[in-house]
Structure 1
Amino acid sequence: MFDTGKQRQDPIGQFEDILFNEQFPEVDFTYTTDIKEAYEGADFVFKRYLTAKSLSIDVVEEDDEEEEEKENEKTSI
Structure 2
Amino acid sequence: QGLVNNWIEKRISRSGMIPKEVKAIRKQLALMRDEGEKALKEMQEGKMGEELQKNYEGWKECPICQGVSPMNID
| Higher helix fraction (1 or 2) | 2
Q: Which has the higher contact order (CA 8 A, sep 6+)?
A: 2
Task: Mark yes or no: TM-score above 0.5.
Answer: no
TM range (shorter): under 0.3
Q: TM-score, normalised by structure 1?
A: 0.27
